[in-house]
Chain A
Amino acid sequence: MITVENLTKSFQGIPVLNGVSLDVQSGSVLGVVGPSGAGKSTLARCVALLERPDSGAIRVDGTDLTALGGTALRNARRQIGVVPQGDSLLRQRTAAGNIALPLESAGVPGPQRRSRVGELLDLVGLTDKAGSYPDQLSGGQRQRIAVARALAAGPSVLLADEPTSALDPETTGSVLTVLDRARAELGVTVLVVTHDMAVVRKICDDVAVLEEGRVVENGKLLDLIGDSNSRTASALLPAVDLNPVNESNFDRVADVVLVGFAAVGALLPEASHRFGVEVNLLGGGLTRLAETPVARFRLGITGERADSALEWISEAGGVVRRTLKGPQGVAA
């Protein structure tokens, strides 16, 4: 759907993007995360066609947009809806007037424009604010209007740079809901740049971690979550070692990650039952990634067939991330 190929960009000879490649599936949400200064905004600006990369391609439905100019560039821009970093609404226009701007650029006639603006206000849940000026709206409401504006011309890709950076957690939720609705109801492909893992947790299907202009980790969130080397996983999973445990009380001590309703609900009791072992929860907890429950537990297992139980857990879909005490682990 949208493909970024080997993008490079430097400013005054200082490289900011060093060959960034990404692939976002149609109708999915990719979160680009990374520390401040990693080049996230530069990447976003290249994708928004505001900055021309030094080399590489940005393809939407197969067409490279980086080489375009003039009218072709302006038309290409309508395929990519952009929510820029920071306040970007026209302060002299109402919420409805702001949403109408892309439609005016596209030459949509008045009556059609009004009905389209109505649909978008409805999508972002701000129908009652149609006539309000940006200064009369809260930060979260302004961001939702900015999202509605980005969607107005019917783009196939929605790009948002730090859409929640200035917002409190509650308001962040309302903006994320709107991004999620855009994907669900309009089928747009969403690329969201953020340093806030809550955004990733709530709406992203895929994650790319950017560091010093390079993608250092990239994949489906639910795949990364079981990967013991993944930074995304360690940022999102509940911490396990809050309480020190006396490991000598158990035959095996291991960290496991469980993904999905079935795994979280039934895997451990079933393992205990099948292998006649006692499974104790020593730490960790439960969280959610979008709708999917995800758990990371530290288990203390007692019983002769503890190894078989762990093996079975891993075959049944659990991820045994680390055995602290056991054949490959640390002996007490």
Chain B
Amino acid sequence: MRSATPWSDVLNRLVEATGETLYMVGVATLIATLFGIPVGVWLQLTSPGGLRPQANLHRVLSFVTDLGRSMPFIVLLVALMSVTRLVVGASIGTSAVIVPLSVGAIPFVGRLVQNILSEVHVSVVEAAVTTGASTVRIVRSVLIRESLPALINAIGVTVIALIGYSAMAGVIGGGGLGDLAIREGYQRFNARLLWSTVAWLAVLTTVIQFGFTRAARASDRRRHASV
């Protein structure tokens, strides 16, 4: 039996993999948020109770969104390889993972956002309509601003979900914490590396979750809300 990897090596591997994970997930979250919020807004506006109800368009949008959400990430990873090569210039590597990660997360974020926006009470939205506000203003000042705390939490949920998905990045040489745990820890029977990575992932996701919860609370103006 070979001797365990020295702790200093474990630490180095963890630092490197953490950087890769944060890079992949960070950029993908940014892109997914940038595109996912408009998708969610569009879904909500066209929904039957929305500001611009359009039943057929809504059905198509919903179908595409749910299709995207139900697509296993590993399939997306492989299916999008040619697109990835076009966008990133390579179909393998850490940057290459960002493309399928983002594409997979957009419908995920879109649905989350729509659910959150639909929680804004109809009478609140209608009150804004009667002030003569434009749809753009209502989306910005009413729908999004009123749900900001929930939206920030949703982005936190997305980050955690993407950390999970990114574990499969190893398939196309993306690296990151998940890859480290699976390929170098589990498959090579390196228990110390495996469990260190698992423990660190737990810490990392907890800290991220905590950060988003705090940010969401800070954005909530109803500080003295009577419960």
Is B127 in contact with A133, judged by CB distance below 8 angstroms? no
Interface string of B211-227 (1 = CB under 8 A from A): 00000000011111110
Nearest chain A CB to B3's CB is how many angstroms away?
Answer: 58
Complex interface: stretch among A101-109, A169-177, A264-272:
A101-109
Knowing A77-B132, A153-B131 touch, does A93 contact B221 (C-beta < 8 A)? yes
Question: What is the bound-complex CA distance between A86 and B225, given in angstroms?
Answer: 19
Interface string of A88-101 (1 = CB under 8 A from B): 11111110000001
Nearest chain B CB to A182's CB is how many angstroms away?
Answer: 16
Knowing A84-B123, A91-B146 touch, does A102 contact B220 (C-beta < 8 A)? no
Docked complex: A50-85 residues within 8 A CB-CB of B = 50, 74-78, 80-82, 84-85
| B residues contacting the other copy or chain, number (CB 8 A) | 25
Nearest chain A CB to B32's CB is how many angstroms away?
Answer: 24
Tell me whether B134 is interfacial, beta carbon within 8 Å.
yes
Tell me whether B52 is interfacial, beta carbon within 8 Å.
no
Tell me whether B141 is interfacial, beta carbon within 8 Å.
yes
Is B123 in contact with A87, judged by CB distance below 8 angstroms? yes
Nearest chain A CB to B120's CB is how many angstroms away?
Answer: 9
Tell me whether A120 is interfacial, beta carbon within 8 Å.
no
Is B141 in contact with A77, judged by CB distance below 8 angstroms? no
Identify which of B129, B132, B137, B220 contacts A50 (C-beta below 8 A): B129
Nearest chain B CB to A319's CB is how many angstroms away?
Answer: 41
Identify which of B127, B133, B224 contacts A146 (C-beta below 8 A): B127
Tell me whether A258 is interfacial, beta carbon within 8 Å.
no
**A91 contact set on B, CB distance < 8 A:** 124, 146, 221-222
Tell me whether A135 is interfacial, beta carbon within 8 Å.
yes
Is A82 in contact with B130, judged by CB distance below 8 angstroms? yes
Question: What is the bound-complex CA distance between A80 and B132, given in angstroms?
Answer: 10
Tell me whether B2 is interfacial, beta carbon within 8 Å.
no
Nearest chain B CB to A105's CB is how many angstroms away?
Answer: 4
Interface positions of A (Cβ within 8 A of B):
48-50, 74-78, 80-82, 84-94, 101-102, 104-106, 133-136, 146, 149-150, 152-153
Apart from A74-B132, A90-B145: 11 A-B pairs, beta carbons within 8 A: A74-B133, A86-B123, A87-B123, A88-B123, A90-B141, A91-B124, A102-B132, A105-B131, A133-B221, A133-B222, A149-B127
Q: Which 6 A-B pairs have the closest CB atoms?
A: A102-B131, A88-B127, A82-B130, A105-B133, A77-B132, A135-B225
Interface positions of B (Cβ within 8 A of A):
121, 123-124, 126-134, 137, 141-142, 145-146, 148, 220-226
